[in-house]
Amino acid sequence: MADQVALAEIEKRIQVVEDNLRQLMEQAAAYSGAADEERNADRIADQQAKLDALLKEREAQLK
């Protein structure tokens, strides 16, 4: 039961991070300028790292 709760929480966090990534991609497409692009690239990289970690955690839970 605890594993199912943990897995559900991981799935929820994955959805939040994926939504964040979609929003950041839309913002990056809308903004121009080197400073904006660099800031958005950093934020996207941060969210992608979080997503990668959550996907690894989910995979470990499923094994």
- Model confidence pLDDT, tens digit, residues 37-59: 888 889 999 999 999 999 999 99
Please say if the pLDDT value at position 1 is more than 70: no
Q: Rounded to two decimals, what is the model's pTM?
A: 0.82
Q: Is 31 left (phi over 0), alpha (psi -120 to 50) or beta?
A: beta
Instruction: Give the relative orientation of helices 2-30 and 34-62 as an angle to the nearest 10 degrees.
Output: 160
